[in-house]
């Protein structure tokens, strides 16, 4: 399972927002929650349910534990998606243009335009 993590360093966020010398812990938590909230708004599909905001020593961590996060955030090449089951009758199921489609394998065109929603959320929430 791929996990993308963005660490929010309190000093760096403080410099970015107002240039003062040390944020209050509650202020840092509030900013972390704002970044998490914005990341949930920007995340595609079910990824928004896998975003967590954790306070660690000196920083706030916003992370997404969805298994496909790395493929959304980074570019991917075109590739085949095959069923992952020992059952020979198993099929992939998805919604096509004409309705529900079942297939043993599907050609994925790749992701030429990545969606780095975590970094975008950090930049937008820090304004």
| pLDDT tens digits, one per residue of 96-113 | 889 999 999 999 899 889
Give 39-87 pLDDT, tens digit per residue: 999 999 899 999 998 887 677 889 999 998 999 999 999 999 888 888 8
| Domain 1-75+113-127 indexed as CATH 1.10.3470 | no
Q: Would you state the pLDDT for residue 78?
A: 94
- Lookup result for tokens 């980074």: 74
What are the sequence ranges of the domains in the chain? Answer: 1-75+113-127, 77-110
* 24/38: higher pLDDT: 38
Q: Please say if the pLDDT value at position 27 is more than 90.
A: no
Full DSSP string of the chain? ---EEEEEEHHHHHHHHT--S---HHHHHHHHHHHHHHHHHHS-GGGGGGEEEEEETTEEEEEE--TTHHHHHS-B--EEEE---S-TT--EEEEETTEEEEESEEEE--BSS---HHHHHHHHHT-
What does pTM read for this prediction?
A: 0.65
Question: Which residue, 66, 51, 65, 63, is CA-closest to 8?
Answer: 63
- Contacts of residue 109, defined as CB under 8 A and 6 or more positions apart, other chains included, come to 78
The yes-or-no verdict on residue 18 having pLDDT over 70 is: no
């Amino acid at each position: 399972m791929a996990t993308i993590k963005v660490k929010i360093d309190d000093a760096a966020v403080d410099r970015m927002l107002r240039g003062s010398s040390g944020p209050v812990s509650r202020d840092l938590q509030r900013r972390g929650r704002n970044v998490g909230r914005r990341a949930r708004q920007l995340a595609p599909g079910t990824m928004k349910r896998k975003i967590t905001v954790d306070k660690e020593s000196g920083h706030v961590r916003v992370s997404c534990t969805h298994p496909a996060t790395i493929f959304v955030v980074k570019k991917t090449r075109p590739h085949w998606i095959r069923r992952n089951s020992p059952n020979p009758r198993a099929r992939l199921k998805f919604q096509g243009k004409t309705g529900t489609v079942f297939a043993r394998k599907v050609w994925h065109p790749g992701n030429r335009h990545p969606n780095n929603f975590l970094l975008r959320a950090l930049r937008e929430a820090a304004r």
